[in-house]
Structure 1
Amino acid sequence: MSRWIASLPMYNVTPQHATQWRSLLGDCLAAYARMTGGEEVTAIEVQDGELMAHWRRKDLLLSQACGLPYRMLGLHSEARVIATPRFDAPACEGPRYCSALVVSANAWRRGATTLAACRGLRAASNSADSHSGMNAFRHAVAPHARDGRFFSSVLWTGSHAATLRALAKGAADVGAIDCVTLALLRDAQPEQLDGVQIIGMTASAPGLPLIASRTLGDEQAEALRAALDAAHAADPARAGKLRLRGFARLTGEAYAEIEEMANTAARLGYPELR
């Protein structure tokens, strides 16, 4: 049995991007093996419903998590932040990102050109444990809510791509899409953005952290950071396709900002997206 497992599950927005992330991970693990004398690692694929259990594994060398479960669902006690990607995407600044507030073309024509004008419309979100699709969205809506409500309904779609499809098909009116996902889709499948309009952006927050089990030692963690840098530098064309500029060294404490966004919404009387 391999000692370690690894995955990069979060930005496989198209099959082409999934191939590029697997390639980057392969180069990272090869560099890590050279630096550590051949520690054995297996790259695996992880389904969405398995992510929390995967991130909590004691033999996790590397994966990418969402900041909300890392900070707010207890993951920080079992995993350590290794690095945070820096993306070349609109609305990204260094290792920080935000979400685009998007509406359907029909909602746009009916006057939903600002978030405040979306009162009473149907919202869509990828997941209740997503920072980009729910927490940042809730934080943006909170100042406009009345008696804890703003939308007529909330549709949970399962992914950002599914949220875009729901808007395009008229099943929902407004949602929030991770700006990195949006940029990658615009590059590879721009037709997925047909029928939607961007009306604003959420507040920024630290990007999706690359994590490892807390069983990983400090020297191993430093080797892993160096291996990530080596993998990024190894193929500039691949990095360009992934819009990846490199990796920042944020600490786990940086992700307290995501919890504070949730607390701000709660203080404004809007603890749930609804």
Structure 2
Amino acid sequence: MKWLAALPMYNVTPTLAGDWRVLLEHVRSQLRPWLDARGDTLELVDPDTSLTEFWLRDDVLLTQTCGYPLMHALDGRVQLVATPIFSIDGCANGDYRSVLVARKAASVTSLESSRGQRAAYNSDDSNSGMNLLRHAVAPFANGRAFFSSLVETGGHLASLKALADDRADIAAIDCVTFAFVREHLPALADGVIEIGVTASSPGLPLIASKRVPADGIDALRTALSRALTQDAPLATRLELAGFAQRLLSDYSAIIDLESDAARRGYPRLA
């Protein structure tokens, strides 16, 4: 079997993309006995299709998704391997949250005071950019549209650039992404102010195809842990403290956040 692996979610800069690939190279090295015993190979790739298509491929040994599609488009169709634990505020035990940011010139000091502003979000199937923002807005919306307009940007970096270009005023940015932006792209971070944080939920999970056998999942978990021990400087650069073995049921918290917004009369970001 020729397996594939990719970690596409936190490639904020080419340097970080290279570091995530190095992590996968370490994982592949640690997996060598398991692969060789089966006569299998593992290729590290950059997905050339939509991420949803890639996540659903039968030959994916390891990749990373968002918790929202895990509970929707991927529900029952992939296996949960592990959840990264980042050494970033709000990321204890594999949780994460979004940082609410506003364009400095918008003179917004809180989410509540951003009524009537323009919001940017990355995609409809994002927990950090859409679902957590929807949940945060719901108590203030009173069942009505809260923002004057929305722009779907396709990614967190693009949302920050929309604020920088005066195409939007407010966004919710994954706290891991925002930490990397502050370190590697400080000019982009300097253009916004933090006006709050969202609720927490389980972080972006590492997943595998349903075709991966149980001993392969065990081998992956061991390989991930050993990869960090093998290369401590890499772990530091990636802000990785380890990997948690979260239960799939933990991710139902994401559905709870969605349901809570709907109960408050705010079923969609608006």
Q: Deviations over 1:78-99 (max 9, x none)?
A: 1010000000112222200000
1:16: which partner in 2?
15
1:180 equivalenced with 2:181 (yes/no)? no
| Residue 148 (structure 1) shift | 3.0
Partners of 1:93 and 1:221 in 2: CA distance:
23
Aligned to 1:132: 128
Q: Does the 8 Å CA contact 2:142/2:264 hold for their aligned counterparts?
A: no
Name the CA distance, whole Å, in 2 between partners of 1:260 and 1:72: 13
TM-score, length of structure 2 as denominator length: 0.96
Which residue is equivalent to 2:45? 44
Segments of structure 1 that go 5 or more residues without pairing to the other structure are: none
Deviations 1:91-123 (A, max 9, x none): 222200000000000112xxx201100001100
Superposition map of 1:43-62 within 5 A: 43-47=44-48, 50-62=50-62
| C-alpha contact (below 8 Å) 1:126/1:156 kept by paired residues | yes
- What do the CA deviations read for 1:231-259 (whole angstroms, capped 9, x no partner)? 11111111111101110001211111101
Match of 2:242, SS?
Answer: strand
| Structure 1 segments of 4+ aligned residues over 6 angstroms from their partners | none
Match of 1:203 in 2: 199
**Residue 114 of structure 1: aligned partner:** 110
1:202 maps to amino acid: T
Conserved 8 A contact 1:103-1:197 = yes
2:250 is aligned to: 254
RMSD of aligned alpha carbons: 1.2
Q: Which moved more, 1:20-29 or 1:49-58?
A: 49-58
Q: CA deviation at 1:146?
A: 2.9
Out of 183, 188, 193, the position equivalent to 1:192 is 188
2:234 is aligned to: 238
Cα distance between partner residues in 2 of 1:252 and 1:80: 9
How many pairs does the alignment contain? 268
Tell me the amino acid that sits aligned with residue 16 of structure 1: T
**Partner SS, residue 76 of structure 1:** coil
Preserved contact between residue 138 and residue 265 of structure 2 (Cα < 8 Å): yes
1:228 to 2:227 alignment: no
Distance 1:191 1:146 in 2: 36
Aligned counterparts of 1:37 and 1:252: Cα–Cα separation in 2: 30
Work out whether residues 148 and 271 of structure 1, in 8 Å CA contact, stay in contact via their aligned partners in 2: no
Q: Distance in 2 between matches of 1:248 and 1:269?
A: 34
Displacement of 1:268:
0.6
Q: CA deviation at 1:153?
A: 0.5
Maintained 8 Å contact 2:80/2:206:
yes
Q: Once the 2 structures are TM-superposed, how far is the Cα of residue 230 of structure 1 from its aligned partner?
A: 1.1
The C-alpha deviation readout for 1:145-204, integer Å capped at 9, x for no partner, is 133310011011111111111111211010100000011111112111121000000000
Equivalent pair of 1:87/1:95 in contact (CA under 8 Å): yes
Q: Is the 8 A contact 2:83 2:245 kept in 1?
A: yes
Distance, in Å, in 1 between the alignment partners of 2:98 and 2:228 is 25
- The answer to whether structure 1 residue 63 and structure 2 residue 48 are counterparts is no
The corresponding residue for 1:218 is 214
The match for 2:103 is: 104
Secondary structure of 1:134 counterpart = helix
In structure 2, list runs of 5 or more residues that go unmatched.
none
